[in-house]
Structure 1
Amino acid sequence: MRNVIQVVREALLTNFRELDNWFDKEPALLDFKPDRDQWSIREVLEHISLTNYFLLLIINKSTRRALDRKRNGHTVVVPADYQEKFSQIDVISSKSFGWVRPEHMEPTGLKDMQEVKALLKQQYAQCMYNLSLLKNGEGVLVFTNMSVNHLGKLDIYQYIYFLTKHIERHIRQMKRLEREYEESAVLI
């Protein structure tokens, strides 16, 4: 179980560190949109913070429930096929599936970037705090349904891992936007 927690912790560290770098990019790049109906990097960062907010509502509530269950004598048992779910979650970082996001996760593009950056730092700290509370495997005591890509029931570690893969997916999107921006500058 410690290996799982370490993998999730490293995914959080790597992806949030990468996100932090995007705030240092030039404003013209952050605002660049190849097409009207595509998001800018600014909007992608805002979307990530919105999605994290809603995922963390579930993660925080589940963490409290898991700790209560542990106090009430529930035993931590890891299923034999436990790692398979992580492989299914890994697909989230690619563009290989379709999913319509809820309207409340749509960015406005109006949020101050320093506010978004501060929010992402808080969200990172909250994820790490939850992991520290669940250091003895308690995260497998609570499962929550995830409708994205028909993932089904995820425990808390898997839910946090999903959050990291969602970030990774959008980091790839921002890198594509950056390449398109650079290519458009060459054409001018």
Structure 2
Amino acid sequence: MRNVIQVVREALLTNFRELDQWFEKDTALLNFKPERDQWSIREVLEHITLTNYFLLLIINKSTRRALDRKRTGHTVAVPADYEEKFAQIDVIGSKSFGWVRPEHMEPNGLQNLSEIKALLKQQYAQCMYNVSLLKNGEGMLVFTNMSVNQLGKLDIYQYIYFLTKHIERHIRQMQRLEKQFEDSAVLI
């Protein structure tokens, strides 16, 4: 169990640290759009905060329920396919599946970068706090359905891990945008 918690913590640390570095990039890069219908890096960062917000609503509620269940004597049982579910979640970090995101997770471009950065820091802290509250396996006491890529029921650790893989997916997107930006500068 400690291994799972450590994997989730490391994924949070690594991906949020990587996100933080994007705020140091040049403004022209952050606002670059190779096509009109594509997002800029700034919009990708805003989308991440929106998605995290909705995922954290579920994670926070589930954490409270898990702690209540622990207090009332529920015991933690590790399902036989537990590790397999993490492998299924790993796919989220790539572009190898299709999913139509809800409209409320679309960036509107109204938040400035300092607001986005502050939100990401707050969301990171909230994730780490939840993990610290669930240090003895309590995160396995509550399952919530995840429709993305037909993942099905995820416990709280898996849900937080999903959040990190969503970030990872968009870090790759921002890296591609940066490459396109650099390539477009060479052509000029």
TM-score by length of 2: 1.00
Q: Which residue does the alignment assign to 1:120?
A: 120
Q: Structure 2, unaligned stretches of length 5 or more?
A: none
Structure 1 segments of 4 or more deviating over 4 A? none
Q: Which whole-Å deviations, capped at 9, do the CAs of 1:30-69 have from their partners, x for residues lacking one?
A: 0000000000000000000000000000000000000000
- What SS does the corresponding residue of 1:144 show, helix, strand or coil? strand
Q: Distance in 2 between matches of 1:19 and 1:101?
A: 21
Q: Distance in 1 between matches of 2:87 and 2:147?
A: 16
Shift of 1:80: 1.6
Q: Distance in 2 between matches of 1:117 and 1:135?
A: 27
Q: Which whole-Å deviations, capped at 9, do the CAs of 1:108-138 have from their partners, x for residues lacking one?
A: 1221100000000000000000000000000
- What SS does the corresponding residue of 1:153 show, helix, strand or coil? strand
Amino acid at match of 2:75: T
Superposed counterparts of 1:171-186, under 5 Å: 171-186=171-186
Shift of 1:147: 0.2
Q: Which residue does the alignment assign to 2:148?
A: 148
Q: Distance in 1 between matches of 2:75 and 2:98?
A: 37
Amino acid at match of 2:71: R
Aligned-residue CA RMSD (Å): 0.4
Kindly, what percent of the aligned residue pairs are identical? Answer: 86
Q: Distance in 2 between matches of 1:47 and 1:96?
A: 19
Q: Distance in 2 between matches of 1:77 and 1:162?
A: 21
Q: Which residue does the alignment assign to 1:109?
A: 109
TM-score by length of 1: 1.00
Superposed counterparts of 1:1-188, under 5 Å: 1-188=1-188
Amino acid at match of 2:90: D
Q: Distance in 1 between matches of 2:183 and 2:7?
A: 36
Q: Structure 1, unaligned stretches of length 5 or more?
A: none
- What SS does the corresponding residue of 1:174 show, helix, strand or coil? helix
Q: How many residues align?
A: 188
Amino acid at match of 1:55: L
Q: Distance in 2 between matches of 1:110 and 1:28?
A: 17
- What SS does the corresponding residue of 1:154 show, helix, strand or coil? strand
